[in-house]
Structure 1
Amino acid sequence: MRQRPTARLTVPDFRNLGVLLRLLLLAEGLRLLWWAIEAPMRGHAWTGWWREGALYEPVLLTVTGVLAWLAPWLRRLPPLRALWMTALLAMVVALLWRAGLQRLGLMVPPLASVVVATLAVWLAVVGYFDWRHQRLSPALAEARLLALQSRMRPHFLFNSLNGVLTLIRRDPGRAEAMLEDLADLYRALLAEPRALVPLREELALARAYLAVEQVRLGDRLRLAWQVDTAPDDALLPPLTLQPLVENAVRHGIEPREEGGCVTVEAFRDDDHLVLFVRNPLPPPQAPPGARGNGLALANLRERLDLLYDAEARLRVYESEGEFVAQVRLPIRARDPVSRAPRRSVS
């Protein structure tokens, strides 16, 4: 069966603070650019800038507020229909404001100018957000590719299979569990992509990966899980946690002969989900590559930027001999999140 092509256009989440700021800055920048081009040609003084702002600013702020209010409904519509609805909304708001100001006796631009300016700003905003989405959207596919390539590294695959062979006679139950963990890893990486997954799935994937690595590394890999109070139905991008724990093992445990402890922490902080992954720093004599090249972290940043804009962040830093990765992302009101105990985080 031939698959239907996916829609290229996307509808921004107008409830997102970063999206709203980008919209306002882009619209104001377009107005400033147009005035800089038009004013010298017509000999306008800067007083005209403020006069025209009496219509432009109320229209812009009104449209922005209504878009934020209608955002959940717009996101449920087909993208093309939703975008046409936003164009119609902007046009209606602009014409209503023009009629109201004209009735008050204020000078307003010609009707044709209002229509053209509204459509021009709408096209610029739609084009910008679509370009931004298309630029960042390959990040999820790249995340899956990076993770799959990591799983297919010969040393990981061979060592995992050798671990299974070693356990078959000595501990058949543990060998079976290890094969199940490997199957879970590959099943998750090859599954149909989803925008968001529950935290419990991310935790299960991280546990499966660490269980496999623990068979390989033995007592060198110690684990500390602090996730009992986490809202396990909170939604987050797939492959958020697994790359962080993989980095912790590869760059924090493997280079150290004595190994170390990887700590995974998850909790709810007001209306945000917070994740921490901590691991020991590589020893000073470790080769430069032991600290990694940052590809997985850069990929995760792009995906958070795509889905949450300015409302999510990834921080990495060193503290008391440990490398710390922190992810903080919003829990939406529509997410069926259990009311887990709240904690504060710096």
Structure 2
Amino acid sequence: MDLLFLGTGSGVPAKHRNVSSIALKLLEERNSIWMFDCGEATQHQILHTTLKPRKIEKIFITHMHGDHIFGLPGLLSSRAFQGGETPLTIYGPVGIKQYVLSSLRFSATHIKYPIKFVEFSDNECIFQDTQFKVTVRKLKHGIPSYGFRIEESDHEGTLQADALKAAGVPFGPMFGKLKNGEKVILEDGTVIDGKDFVGPSQKGRVVTILGDTVRTNASIELAENADVLVHESTFTHKDVKLATSYNHSTNVQAAETAKQANAKKLLLTHISARYLSNDVYELQKEAQTIFPETYVMQDLKEISIPLERKGDELK
């Protein structure tokens, strides 16, 4: 599981930052990619990566401001040209279906793959299968804006193969039974209990990705104990009045949210173009005084979210 930041700027594109888009790479987990927001020129950003548009399975839209959706029509069209034939689901606020279908219709764009639309409101589970659950909460912005909590199911414990071999268990069908926690009897009469050779289950990962928002309790609830919190930081704290007037957050407010939520890592994005390299360094440094595991993202930066293996030892 990896997060690839395709655009980390706010409002309008800049030379050093494109507008909002994030790819959650789930290649090992389900051989697919989930995208969060799709600002203008997102498909251009993809050209600088190894991402394959045909592997995009789901697109989640936080809100309907242009810097988060203007890249959708082009990306959807290119996905068709580049061999994308599998179904795609777009999740977003009310209006996302009309926007996409109107854009495709008036541009005479023909999509060969089926697109499903899921329009949500607040406090909903919008997707769940055996691997993942995605819930959405309404944040506080000038227009309806939302945050997503992506929860991975727990992983079964690892079978201790070396310990089984040392105990005289031949590799083969017995391994499968032991993995299921069953008991097997060896040729010499020894009884082997699978429960003694399977490590503890591993807690699934939690990723929280928020849309544009001022500080709100919904952000904290979405980010509770998250492995990674992606939070907008449009302004530095010295511009807090400006942030409030534009319904955005500062770096300090984002750090306070991460701390209250007991998140493990905070990734700041949606940075105003007014802040250049030195400003961004100070922005990160200031936030780290409140929440040390804070990092400002740059375009095309990729963050790995490893599965913790603590305690995965022989019982």
Same fold, judged at TM 0.5 (above): no
Instruction: Please classify the TM superposition score into its range, dividing by the shorter chain length.
Output: under 0.3
TM-score (norm 2): 0.26
Looking at CA atoms only, which structure, 1 or 2, has the larger radius of gyration?
A: 1
TM-score (norm 1): 0.24
The structure where strand makes up a greater share of residues is 2
The structure where helix makes up a greater share of residues is 1
